Amino acid sequence: MIWQNWLLVMILLSSLVPGLIIFSLAESRHGLRTTLNLFGAITKMVLVMIMIVGIHQGKSFAVHLVLLPGLELVLRADLLSALFVALSSILWLFTTIYAIAYLEDSPNRSHFFGYFSLCVTVTIGIALAGNLLTFLFFFEMLTLSTYPLVVHRGTTEALAAGRVYLIYTLAGGFCLFLGVVWLHVLVGPVDFSREGVLSPLVESHGQTLRIIFFLLIAGVGVKAALFPLHGWLPRAMVAPAPVSALLHAVAVVKAGAFGIIRVVLDVYGLQTAKGLGLLMPLMLLASVTIVYGAIYALKQDNLKHRLAFSTVSQVSYIALGISIGHPLAIMGGMAHLVHQGLMKITLFFCAGNIAEILGVHHISRMNGVGRRLPLTMAAFTLAAMGMIGLPPMAGFVSKWYLGLGAIAQGQGWLIGVLVLSSLLNAAYFLPILYGAWFKEPEGEWPADSGTVGPVESHWMLIVPPVVTALIVLLVGLLANSGLSPLAWVRLIINARYGL
Amino acid sequence: MMGLQLQSDCWLIWPVILPLSAALVAFLAKGQPRLSGLTGALLTALASGTLFLKVVNHGGGSYDLGGWQPPLGISLRGDGPAVLMVLMTAVTGLAISVYAGGYFQSRIAMGGKGRRHIVQERFFWPLWLLLWGALNGLFLSADIFNMYVTLELVALSSVGLTALSGKPASQVAAMRYLLASLLGSLSFLLGVAFLYKTHGSLDLATIQAALALSPPVALAMALISVGLMLKCALFPFHFWLAPAHANALAPVSAILSGLVIKGGWYLFFRFWQGFLPLVGDGVVVVLAGLGGAAIIWGAFQAFCQQRLKMLVAYSTVAQIGYLFIIFPLLAIGAGQGAAAVFYFAISHSCAKAALFLAAGSIFLQMGHDRINNLDGVRQILPITTFAFALAGLSLMGLPPTGGFIAKYMYLSLAVSQDSWWLVLVMVVGSCLTAIYICRAVSHVLSPRMVAGRSQVVVGASMEWSALALALVAILLGFIAPLPLGLFEVVG
Amino acid sequence: MSVPPALVYGLTGLFLFVAGLAGLISCAQLLRKILAANIMASGVFLFLVTIGHGRGGVIDPVPHAMVLTGIVVSVSSTAVVLALACRVQETANIHDLLKRRAGGDRE
C-alpha cells in the first residue's frame, strides 16, 4: 500500500518541515515557534506509533530513491530501527518541552530550534537507513546539524569545543566514507536486510575486510565516543543542557552506538565477524572504555563533565554486548541503547535544572540541593540508581543480560569488568546523592532564580525529568511485560537468532 | 544540396548567437544596460534550456555554420557532455546575472565615488554576455580552430571583467591573467597547427579517429596541454588565479571561478579523450600528480588566507586538481570516470559560484572580508550565510550534495583500481577542504555579535540568487541519474 | 642540395615562437612582454602559412583562413593588452604619487 511507504517520509518531514519554518521565523514569534515544535514532536510520536503497530502486524515499510545507478537511498523500518526511532521520537518530545523552558529569553532561539529539529530528523534518518550508503548519508549530516548546537552559546570556549567536535567527527566521517566506498566496490550495495553478504569473501579477502571493519568502526566509534576517540565529548559539554541531553541520549552518541550494532550485526553479520576475529578487539576496546570512562568520571567535579565521562563509559556497554556475540549479550546491549538513553537524558535534565535554577555547576557545591529541588533530585536519584545498576532499575536489566551472555560465551572475566564499573558508578554517583540529600546547604545558592508556581520552577523544566525518571523505573519494573523495550529487543533477537 | 534552407539542428546556434547579439544590444543601449543585460541573460538561459530539452528528447546533433561543410566550414556539435556544460553555464549564469543586477543596484544606491559603479555596470553586461556566448561556442565547437577563437574570446572578455573593479590590485592581476592567457592561447594555436599539418583536418572527431603517435603529434599534444593548463590554472600554473579571482567584482569572481575555468578544462578533457590511448601510464600519472599537488597546495594556501575571497579563490586552485586526478581512472568502466569528472565540474560550478556570490555580499555588507572579523554577519545576512554554508558542504563532499555524489564516484573508481595514492590524496584533500571551509563558516555563522554596518545594503535578489545556486548544488545530490543519462548522448 | 623553402619558413616560424616565448617570460618590462607576445603570434602565423603551402604544390586555403582570423584575434588582443597596460601604468603612477605625498613607503 502506498501510505506505508510514505509513512517513513512523513516521519522525517514531521520534524524537517517545522524546523525549516522555524528557521525563517523572527525571534519574537515565541508562541508560533513553540506550537510548531510541539506539533512536530507530537505528530512524529503518533506516526512512529502507527509504524510500530504496523511492524508488529508484519507490515513492511520501505522507500527507495536512486542516487546513481546501483546507488540507492533506502529507508526501511525493521525491528531494530523501530527501537531507535521510538526512543528518539519520545525523548525528542521531552527534550523539546524542556528546551523551550530552558532557553526562555536567550538569544537566537529560532536558529537553535531550527537545527534542533534538523538534528532529530537526521537521527531518525539514521535509524531508518536501510543500507550502508543511507546510513553514511545521514550520519554525516548529523555532524553538520549538531555543530551549530554545540557552539550555540558563541563563547570562545564553545567555539573551541565546536572546533574539536568538528575535527573528530569529520575525520571519523571520512573514515566511514572510505570504508563504505571500499565495501561497495568489493560487494556492491550493502543492504541491511541481507545479512551474510560478506561471508563468501572471508576466505579470499579476509585482510581487506578487517581493514574495512576498522575504518567503519573508527567512523562510528568517534560518535559513540569509544576510547581513544572520545576526546570531543567532555568538551562539547559547553553546549546548553538540552543539547547535551540530545547529544548523549538521543542523537550523536546513540547514533554511533547504533552504527556499531548495524556494522557488526547487519553489515558483517555475527558469524562473519567472529570468523574474521573482529569481535575480540572490539570487546577489549569496549571494556577499556567502560573502565576508563568511569575512572575519569570519578575525577570530575563539574557535574556535566562527570555525566559526560559517565556516558563514555555507559555507551560502551552497547558495544560490549554486541562484541560478546552471544544473543543474550546482544539483547543486553540493545536494551541498554534504550535504557541508557532514558537514564542519561534524565540526568542531564536534572543537571540543567540545577545549573539553571540555582547556578550550581560543581558537585562540591551541591550539598543540600535536595531540599531546594526535591523533585529534580528525586528524578536524579532514580536515574543514578539505574546507572549504577541497582535492581529493579533499568540499568540492572541490561547488565544482567550482558552478564548472562558473557558467561554463556565463556568470557567470564567480563563479569569482573561489569562489577568493577558498577562499583565505580556507585563511587561517582552515591556521593552526589548523599551530599544532595543529607548535607546542609552551604549558605546561599550562587544564582537562585526563585520559585515559579506550585513546583520548584517552571513546570516545563520539572515535568520532563520526572516523567523520564518514572519511565526508567517502570522499564525496569515491568521488564518482563509485553510493552517494555526489553520485550521488543527480545522480539528482535528472536527474529534473528531464534532464542 | 546545401544553401539557404535551414538545417534541422539549427537550435544549436541559439545559445551562441543570442548572448552575442544581446551583448551588442547591451553595449548600445546606454541608458538601460541592466534591463537589456538581464533580458539577454534570460533569453540565453531559455535557449540553453531548449537545447537541453531537445537533446534529451531527440538526441544530439550537429550544425554547419552558414551551410559550409567541413573542412572549410565550421560546425557545431551538440553531444551529451557539451550540452551538459551549456546547461550548467545557463543555470549558474542566470543566477549570477540576477545577482549582478542586485549588486549594481545596491552599489549605485550606496553612492560613493562618483559615477564609477554606473560605468562599471555599463561595461559589465556586454562583457558578461560576450563571455557567455563565447563559452557556449567553446562547448559546442567541433572544430579545433574555432575552439582557439572562442578560447581567445573567453579570455579577452574575462580579462575585461577582471579589470572592471578599477582597483590597482585587480588591474595588475588582470594584466597577469591576460599575459598568461595569451601565452596559453598561442601555445594552443601552434598545437592546432601541428595537428592540422599531420591530419589535414580541423574536426576534432576526425582527428581523434585517425590519431597515431608521431613526433609532431606528441609536440602538438604537449603544446595544447600546456596551453590549456595555463588557462585553467592547474598547479604549477596557478600563479595568476587567486589575485585575479579574489580582486574582481563579486559577480565576476563567481563567473571566473565557476565557469571560465571549466572552459579550459573542458577542452583539455576533450583533447585528452583522444590522446589517452596513445600515451603511457607515466604521462597520465604526471597529470594526476599535478592534480594531486594542486589539491594539497591549494587547500593549504586556502587555509592560510586571511581574506574570505582569497580563501575561496585558493579553494578553486585546489578543486581544479580534482578535475585532473581523474585521468588515470578514465581507462576502466563504461565512461564512469568521465561521468564522475563532469559531475564534479558541474557541482563545483554551482557551489563555487554560490560561495563567491555569498562572499561578495558579505564583503559589501561588512566593508571588508577579513575572516577573523566576520563574526556575527549571520544576524545581518541570514540567507547569504546559509547559502555560504550549504555551498561549503558541497565543496567538502558531504551529503546531501552534488559534491558528495562526485566524490563517491571518484573514490569508488580509485578503490576499484587500487590507486591508493589517489585515495590518500582525496582523503587528505577532503580533510583540508573541511578544515578551511569550517574555519570560514565558523566565523560567518558564529552566534557572536560584532559591530558592522547596521543598515542592510545587500539586496534581496543578491541573497536569494546565492541561495538558489547553493540549493542547486544540494539538488544535484539527488538527481544524478538525470544529467548522467544525458552523458551517453553522442553528437 | 637545396633546402625546401617550406622547411625554412616553418623553422623560422618556430624560432620566432620560441624567441617570443623567451621574451615573454624573461622581460621585466610590460611593453617588451607585449611585443614578445606579438612575435610569438607572428611565428605561429608564419608556421600556419607554411602548412598551407606544403600539400603537394596545391595551396590549401584553410590555413590562410586561419591566419586571417588569427591576425584579427591577435590585433584585438594586442589592443586590449595595450589599453590595460595604460591603465596599469596610470594607477601605478597615481599610486606612486600618493605614496610620495604620504611621505613614506606605507601602503
**B442 to A159: CB separation less than 8 angstroms, yes or no:** yes
| Phi and psi torsions of B203, nearest 5° | -80, 120
> Which of B343, B448, B484 is the best residue to mutate to test the A interface, defined by the most A CB atoms within 10 Å of its own CB?
B448
Q: Which residues of B238-258 are buried (b: 16+ CB within 10 A; e: fewer)?
A: bebbbbbbbbbbbbbbbbbbb
Contact residues, B window 182-211, toward C, CB-based 8 Å cutoff: 182-183, 185-186, 189-190, 192-193, 196-197, 200, 202
Cβ of residue B29 closer than 8 Å to a chain A Cβ: no
Nearest to C41 by CA among B71, B240, B179, B232: B179
Residue C84 in contact with residue B159, Cβ under 8 Å? yes
Q: Return the number of other C-beta atoms located less than 10 Å from residue B343's C-beta.
A: 25
Look at residue A27 and tell me if it is in a domain.
Answer: no
Quote the minimal CA–CA distance from A181 to chain B in Å: 5
Residue B50 in contact with residue B14, Cβ under 8 Å? yes
DSSP output for B204-222: HHHHHHT----HHHHHHHH
Q: DSSP assignment, residue C2?
A: P
Residue B416 in contact with residue B369, Cβ under 8 Å? no
Look at residue A191 and tell me if it is in a domain.
Answer: no
Burial grade of A73 (CB within 10 A; 0-12, 13-18, 19 or more): buried
Nearest to A283 by CA among A343, A209, A220, A333: A333
Residue B162 in contact with residue B63, Cβ under 8 Å? no
- 3-state SS track over A246-287: HHHHHCHHHHHHHHHHHHHHHHHCHHHHHHCCCHHHHHHHHH
Cβ of residue C48 closer than 8 Å to a chain B Cβ: yes
Cα–Cα distance measured from residue C18 to residue C75, given in angstroms and rounded to the nearest whole number: 20
Q: Which among C24, C62, C92 is the nearest to B202, CB-wise?
A: C62
Give the position of cell 622581460: C27
Helix, strand, coil % over all residues of chain A, rounded to 5? 75, 5, 20
Q: Please report which confidence band the pLDDT of residue C107 belongs to, taking 50, 70 and 90 as the band edges.
A: very low
Cβ of residue C82 closer than 8 Å to a chain B Cβ: no
**Which residues, at least 6 apart from B473, have a Cβ–Cβ distance to it below 8 Å?**
B347, B350, B351, B354, B390, B391, B393, B394, B401, B402, B403
**C44 to B72: CB separation less than 8 angstroms, yes or no:** no
Look at residue A301 and tell me if it is in a domain.
Answer: no
Q: Please report which confidence band the pLDDT of residue C91 belongs to, taking 50, 70 and 90 as the band edges.
A: confident
Quote the minimal CA–CA distance from C4 to chain B in Å: 16
Task: Report CA-CA distances (Å) from B488 to A442, B81, B347.
Answer: 77, 8, 19
Check pLDDT > 70 for residue A2.
no
pLDDT digit string (tens) for A341-391? Answer: 888 889 888 888 888 888 888 888 888 777 788 888 888 888 888 888 887
Give the position of cell 552599489: B107
Residue A171 in contact with residue B427, Cβ under 8 Å? no
Contact residues, B window 96-155, toward C, CB-based 8 Å cutoff: 145, 148-149, 152, 155
Q: Please report which confidence band the pLDDT of residue C101 belongs to, taking 50, 70 and 90 as the band edges.
A: low
Contact residues, B window 158-177, toward C, CB-based 8 Å cutoff: 159-160, 163, 168, 171-172, 174-175
Helix, strand, coil % over all residues of chain C, rounded to 5? 80, 0, 20
Here the cell at position B273 is 579523450
| Phi and psi torsions of B489, nearest 5° | -65, 130
**B447 to A65: CB separation less than 8 angstroms, yes or no:** no
Task: Report CA-CA distances (Å) from C22 to A167, B24, B437, B438, C18.
Answer: 47, 38, 40, 43, 6
Quote the minimal CA–CA distance from C71 to chain B in Å: 11
Look at residue A80 and tell me if it is in a domain.
Answer: no
Quote the minimal CA–CA distance from A17 to chain B in Å: 16
**A140 to B430: CB separation less than 8 angstroms, yes or no:** no
Q: DSSP assignment, residue A67?
A: E
What is the number of domains present in chain A?
1
Cα–Cα distance measured from residue A84 to residue A81, given in angstroms and rounded to the nearest whole number: 5
Strand partners, A63: A75
Cα–Cα distance measured from residue A296 to residue B375, given in angstroms and rounded to the nearest whole number: 35
Cα–Cα distance measured from residue B92 to residue A276, given in angstroms and rounded to the nearest whole number: 50
- What is the pairing mode between strands A71-77 and A61-68? antiparallel
Contact residues, B window 396-425, toward A, CB-based 8 Å cutoff: 396, 398-400, 404-405, 407-409, 411-412, 415-416, 423
Burial grade of A460 (CB within 10 A; 0-12, 13-18, 19 or more): middle
Cα–Cα distance measured from residue A403 to residue B442, given in angstroms and rounded to the nearest whole number: 45
Lowest pLDDT segment from A55-64, A161-170, B130-139: A55-64
Of all residues in chain A, the one with the smallest CA distance to B413 is A185
Nearest to B303 by CA among B446, B470, B434: B434
Cα–Cα distance measured from residue A149 to residue B376, given in angstroms and rounded to the nearest whole number: 16
Q: Please report which confidence band the pLDDT of residue C30 belongs to, taking 50, 70 and 90 as the band edges.
A: confident
Task: Report CA-CA distances (Å) from A227 to A285, A288, A316, B425.
Answer: 7, 7, 9, 28
Q: Does domain C5-102 have CATH number 1.10.3470.10?
A: no
Of all residues in chain C, the one with the smallest CA distance to B154 is C77
A interface with B, Cβ–Cβ < 8 A, is 65-69, 71, 107-108, 111, 136-138, 140-141, 143-144, 148, 151-154, 159, 162-163, 166-167, 170-171, 173-174, 177-178, 181-182, 184-185
Q: Please report which confidence band the pLDDT of residue A455 belongs to, taking 50, 70 and 90 as the band edges.
A: low
Residue A400 in contact with residue A321, Cβ under 8 Å? no
Q: What is the pTM of this model?
A: 0.90
**C84 to B159: CB separation less than 8 angstroms, yes or no:** yes
- What is the pairing mode between strands A61-68 and B75-78? unpaired
Here the cell at position B318 is 585546489
Please report all neighbours of C, defined by 3+ CB atom pairs within 8 A: B
Q: Return the number of other C-beta atoms located less than 10 Å from residue A36's C-beta.
A: 19
> Which chain B residues contact residue C78 at CB under 8 A?
none
Cβ of residue C69 closer than 8 Å to a chain B Cβ: yes
**B415 to A170: CB separation less than 8 angstroms, yes or no:** no
> Which chain B residues contact residue C85 at CB under 8 A?
175
Cα–Cα distance measured from residue B185 to residue C73, given in angstroms and rounded to the nearest whole number: 11
**C70 to B202: CB separation less than 8 angstroms, yes or no:** no
**A170 to B431: CB separation less than 8 angstroms, yes or no:** yes
The mean pLDDT of chain A is 85
Here the cell at position A194 is 541481507
Rg (CA), chain A: 21
**Of A156 and A295, which is predicted with more confidence?**
A295
Cα–Cα distance measured from residue A308 to residue A243, given in angstroms and rounded to the nearest whole number: 12
Cα–Cα distance measured from residue B428 to residue B455, given in angstroms and rounded to the nearest whole number: 41
Residue A326 in contact with residue A405, Cβ under 8 Å? yes
Sign of torsion, CA A18 A21 A26 A31? negative
Of all residues in chain B, the one with the smallest CA distance to A111 is B447
**B442 to A162: CB separation less than 8 angstroms, yes or no:** yes
Rg (CA), chain C: 20
Cα–Cα distance measured from residue B208 to residue B228, given in angstroms and rounded to the nearest whole number: 18
Please report all neighbours of B, defined by 3+ CB atom pairs within 8 A: A, C
Burial grade of A2 (CB within 10 A; 0-12, 13-18, 19 or more): exposed
User: What pLDDT is recorded for position A499?
Assistant: 65
User: What pLDDT is recorded for position C105?
Assistant: 42
Look at residue A240 and tell me if it is in a domain.
Answer: no
Angle between helix axes C61-102 and C30-53 (nearest 10 degrees) is 180
Structural domain that includes position A353: 332-499
- H or E segment to which residue B415 belongs: helix B402-416
> Which chain B residues contact residue C60 at CB under 8 A?
200
Check pLDDT > 90 for residue A185.
no
Here the cell at position B457 is 545594503
**C81 to B182: CB separation less than 8 angstroms, yes or no:** yes
Range list of β-strands (E), B138-225: none
Give CA angle at B311 (B310, B316), nearest 5°: 95
**C69 to B179: CB separation less than 8 angstroms, yes or no:** no
Of all residues in chain A, the one with the smallest CA distance to B392 is A144
Query: Do C and B touch (≥3 CB pairs < 8 Å)?
Result: yes
B307 three-state secondary structure: strand
What is the full per-residue pLDDT of chain B (491 aa) written as tens digits?
Answer: 343 445 567 788 899 999 999 999 999 887 788 899 999 999 999 999 999 988 888 888 888 887 777 767 788 888 888 999 999 999 999 999 999 999 998 888 887 665 788 888 889 999 999 999 999 999 999 889 999 999 999 999 999 999 988 888 888 899 999 999 999 999 999 999 999 988 888 888 888 888 888 888 999 999 999 999 999 899 888 888 988 989 899 999 999 999 999 999 999 999 998 888 888 788 888 999 999 999 999 999 999 999 999 999 999 999 999 999 988 888 765 578 888 899 999 999 999 999 999 999 999 888 888 888 888 788 888 889 989 999 999 999 888 899 999 999 999 889 888 888 999 999 999 989 998 998 898 888 877 766 665 677 788 899 999 999 999 999 998 888 888 888 777 76
Give CA angle at B414 (B412, B415), nearest 5°: 65
Mean pLDDT, residues A284-304 taken together:
88
Quote the minimal CA–CA distance from B459 to chain C in Å: 31
Quote the minimal CA–CA distance from C43 to chain B in Å: 9
> Which of B113, B183, B194 is the best residue to mutate to test the C interface, defined by the most C CB atoms within 10 Å of its own CB?
B183
Give the position of cell 514531521: A14
Task: Report CA-CA distances (Å) from B428 to A220, A300, B301, B328, B431.
Answer: 19, 36, 14, 19, 5
User: What pLDDT is recorded for position B222?
Assistant: 93
Half-sphere exposure of B326 (CA within 13 A, CB side): 28
Residue B148 in contact with residue B185, Cβ under 8 Å? yes
Contact residues, B window 364-403, toward A, CB-based 8 Å cutoff: 378, 393, 396, 398-400
CA end-to-end span of chain B:
22
Q: Where are the domains of chain C?
A: 5-102
Cβ of residue B336 closer than 8 Å to a chain A Cβ: no
pLDDT digit string (tens) for A94-131? Answer: 888 888 888 877 777 788 888 888 898 999 999 998 88
Quote the minimal CA–CA distance from B413 to chain A in Å: 8
